Amino acid sequence: DAGVTQSPTHLIKTRGQHVTLRCSPISGHKSVSWYQQVLGQGPQFIFQYYEKEERGRGNFPDRFSARQFPNYSSELNVNALLLGDSALYLCASSLGDTHQPQHFGDGTRLSIL
Amino acid sequence: AQSVTQLDSQVPVFEEAPVELRCNYSSSVSVYLFWYVQYPNQGLQLLLKYLSGSTLVESINGFEAEFNKSQTSFHLRKPSVHISDTAEYFCAVSRSGGYNKLIFGAGTRLAVHP
């Protein structure tokens, strides 16, 4: 079975632009979470969606938004990009929204110039 | 709120030597505990987890971790490491009974030398 897939793998943007990152969960998984991993740090939680509803939001500004589609895939949108948004953005899926382990994709590397 | 402290940012070790990667957590509620491994240019892979039951959990590739509630620790150990174990290791917690938001430590870089 395919794992979590993310697209694109790499992206270069300039300050002020917006970006959309995409994630397809493992088949049968209904929960998708997004994390930001800045170089040299552990991942930071951004959002979790379960059955198309937002279940949790981390400490990120309103420039960050996300949604989950009926097929459980998800998009992460970031507006008015800042240099500090440069990071690896990871998507994780799980069966449910509680204790089931999360399975991660390989991430999208976003570079802001 | 929960937090995770990984006490060593880097751990160098020779091949076939034992290793311990230390993880301490802070939480006012019960938690689930996880270790993830990240190889270069890849996402995170689940290594092992503690949800309940036996405090000693094992992975299929020889790693083990022990949940110590009194010391709020979840250290990762392997009796004999291989070159292929070179990677970044992350300890993470999530609140039991809540949605599974993971709180990660800063990571420990394990470098295995021949």
Question: Is pLDDT above 80 for A91?
Answer: yes
Q: Share the mean pLDDT of chain B.
A: 92
Of the residues B32, B89, B90, B101, the best mutation for testing chain A's interface (the one with the most A CB atoms within 10 Å of its CB) is B101
Are B43 and A44 within 8 A, CB to CB?
A: no
Query: Each residue of A44-84: pLDDT tens digit?
Result: 999 999 989 998 899 999 999 999 999 999 999 999 999 99
In this predicted structure, the answer to whether residue B13 has a pLDDT above a threshold of 90 is yes
pLDDT confidence of residue A1: 62
**Residues pairing with B76 in the sheet:** B21, B65
Longest dimension (CA), chain B: 44
The closest alpha carbon to B34, from B93, B106, B108, belongs to B93
> Hey, are the CB atoms on B107 and A98 less than 8 Å from each other?
no
Q: Which residue has the higher pLDDT, B28 or A24?
A: A24
Query: Looking at the DSSP assignment, which residues form a beta bridge with residue B82?
Result: none
Query: B43, A104: Cβ pair inside 8 Å?
Result: yes
Contact of A64 with chain B, judged by CB distance below 8 Å, is answered with no
pLDDT of residue A72: 96
pLDDT of B98 above 80: no
- Least CB–CB distance from B101: residue in A42, A56, A106: A56
CA distance B89 to chain A (A): 9
In terms of CA atoms, which chain B residue is nearest residue A10? B41
Average pLDDT, chain A: 93
Q: Do A76 and A66 contact (CB within 8 A), yes or no?
A: yes
Q: What is the pLDDT of residue B41?
A: 81
Minimal Cβ distance to B49: which of A92, A101, A107? A101
Question: pLDDT tens, B32-55?
Answer: 999 999 998 888 999 999 988 888
**pLDDT above 70 for A97:** no
**pLDDT band, very low/low/confident/very high, at A105 (cuts 50, 70, 90):** very high
User: Between chains, do A99 and B103 touch, taking CB under 8 Å as contact?
Assistant: no
In this structure, the dihedral spanned by the alpha carbons of residues A58, B66, B52 and A48, taken in order and rounded to 10 degrees, is 20
